Amino acid sequence: MDAEFWHQRWGANEIGFHQERGNPLLKAHFSKLNLAAGSRVFIPLCGKTNDIAWLLAQGVHVIGAELSELAIEALFADLGLRPDVTELGKLRRYRAPYIDIFVGDIFELSAELVGEVDAIYDRAALVALPESMRRSYTVLLTEICRAALQLIICFEYNQDLQEGPPFSIGEAELRDHYEAVYALQCLDRVKLEGGFKGGAAANEVVWLLNKTEVSLL
């Protein structure tokens, strides 16, 4: 992940990946997580997604990680919250009731900093990372969240026809990253109207990952 690339995108407000109304597939499949009120949901590379406001309205506690401080300042402004900001080594933590966001390199996070996680919602992290970084990311995510339940949204399209990010993540790759720890279930596959970025035909795919009984995490 090129940090400067993402800082430039946020600085120039080139955030076509941001969905003003949140992600409809999250709303359609959130109930599959069977979370109790007060459950803690981790969102890697969260940006200022409006999914956070929706999740807070469902009564869950949101923990996020994001590289861009501009994005998190905008997030808290949109939520109408004034966060407490603390320095944690190479990270900053923005905190308000029921929300904690860590700003900086996600690879600086630890299980101790993140705390208990009941579920992970990954809509924009795995698909944002180049192939060379995905293994390190999935290992990190599994470790810091102790193989918590995951709801993942991926894109499938011909990578030869369209450059990422977001990148195409097919079933074979997803299983390669996670099948040693999780049981994977495809919940939905939706064709993107008009294709990906107006070009390549693409699907948006929702996966539910449950930790297997044999996992030691």
List domains and CATH numbers for the chain.
3-14+23-211 (3.40.50.150)
What does the H/E/C string look like for the chain?
A: CCHHHHHHHHHCCCCCCCCCCCCHHHHHHHHHHCCCCCCEEEEECCCCCCHHHHHHHCCCEEEEEECCHHHHHHHHHHHCCCCEEEEECCEEEEEECCEEEEECCHHHCCHHHHCCCCEEEECCCHHHCCHHHHHHHHHHHHHHCCCCEEEEEEEEECCCCCCCCCCECCHHHHHHHHCCCEEEEEEEEEECCCCECCCECEEEEEEEEEECCCCCC
Please work out, in degrees rounded to the nearest 5, the angle formed at the alpha carbon of residue 185 by the alpha carbons of 63 and 32.
50
Establish whether 91 is an annotated binding residue.
no
What percentage of the chain exceeds 70 in pLDDT? 88
Residue 7 clears pLDDT 70, i.e. is over it: no
pLDDT reported for residue 200: 85
Q: Is the pTM of this model over 0.85?
A: yes
Residue 73 clears pLDDT 80, i.e. is over it: yes
d(CA 190, CA 168): 14
Single out the residue of 193, 184, 181 nearest to residue 145, CA to CA: 181
d(CA 114, CA 7): 23
Tally Cβ neighbours within 10 Å of residue 5.
Answer: 10
pLDDT reported for residue 194: 80
pLDDT reported for residue 18: 44
Residue 84 clears pLDDT 60, i.e. is over it: yes
Establish whether 116 is an annotated binding residue.
no
119-122: strand order across its sheet:
84-88, 91-96, 99-103, 61-66, 40-44, 119-122, 149-157, 202-211, 182-191
Establish whether 26 is an annotated binding residue.
no
pLDDT reported for residue 15: 47
Establish whether 140 is an annotated binding residue.
no
Residues 162-200 pLDDT 10s? 888 899 999 999 999 999 999 999 999 999 888 776 678
**Residue 22 banded pLDDT, cuts 50, 70, 90:** confident
pLDDT reported for residue 188: 97
d(CA 1, CA 126): 11
Residue 17 clears pLDDT 80, i.e. is over it: no
Distances, alpha carbon 164 to alpha carbons 12, 38, 155, 161, in Å: 18, 35, 10, 10
Single out the residue of 127, 104, 161 nearest to residue 17, CA to CA: 127
**Residue 3 banded pLDDT, cuts 50, 70, 90:** low
Of 12-21, 108-117, 157-166, 196-205, which range is least confident?
A: 12-21
How much is the average pLDDT of 144-153?
Answer: 97
Q: How do 182-191 and 91-96 pair as beta strands? A: unpaired
pLDDT reported for residue 198: 61
How much is the average pLDDT of 81-95?
Answer: 97
Q: What is the mean pLDDT of the chain?
A: 90
Q: Which amino acid is at 213?
A: E
How much is the average pLDDT of 82-98?
Answer: 97
